[in-house]
Amino acid sequence: MSYNVARTRSQKKPSTASGGIRSLSLAIVVPVGLTVTSIFWFGENHNFKDLTRPFWIPPLWGLQLTSLSSAFLMGLSAWLVWAESGFHRTPMSIVMYLAQLGFGLAWNHIFFKTGPTNQIGLAASVGQLVTIFLCSQLFSRINPISGDLVKLCLLWTGFLMSVNLYYVI
């Protein structure tokens, strides 16, 4: 009888680990996939290539890479919060996560398709910055590592907002 109990316990561990890998993959693939799709559909902006860029503004591919990196880290952070049942304990954290994802996708569309001089893109960027800041506050209470990862996204979004602000003003 004890042999069966030991065998059952050892059989459950790999399935739990593979479930964690699946959920982690999903948490990263969905936001990154949506961002890649957004960049692919809206990423060719010939107006941006024609604009004069100061030295501190990277080329278009650099801005797109920054958006992808932010989506990756936000997905990882959300998974860390989800793994500790943080979305159940603090439902506002998932609302803020989904809001920042929506603002990020909207900003990609507006900035990369219609151009960096659009004021609506700046509004989307400010919305994303605010929601990422709120995610940082909420996620830090649940998982400090997740909160630190979100702070990197906050810096990158602030940089993207300053690029947008440069062209709007």
Distance CA 29, CA 114 (A): 26
**Which 8-state DSSP code applies to residue 12?**
H
Q: What pLDDT does 123 receive?
A: 94
Q: What pLDDT does 8 receive?
A: 52
Per-residue pLDDT of the chain (169 residues; tens, 9 = 90+): 555 555 555 555 555 556 788 899 999 999 999 999 988 887 666 667 777 888 999 888 888 898 899 999 999 999 999 999 989 999 999 999 999 999 999 988 888 788 788 899 999 999 999 999 999 999 999 999 999 999 999 999 999 999 999 988 8
Q: What pLDDT does 36 receive?
A: 92
> Domain boundaries in the chain?
20-168
Residues 6 or more apart in contact with residue 145 via CB below 8 angstroms: 80
What Rg value do the Cα atoms of the chain yield, rounded? 19
142 to each of 81, 90, 100, 145, how far by Cα in Å? 6, 9, 18, 9
Predicted model pTM: 0.83
Q: What pLDDT does 150 receive?
A: 96
Taking residue 149's Cβ as centre, other Cβ atoms within 10 Å add up to: 21
Give phi and psi for 68, each to the nearest 5: -65, -45
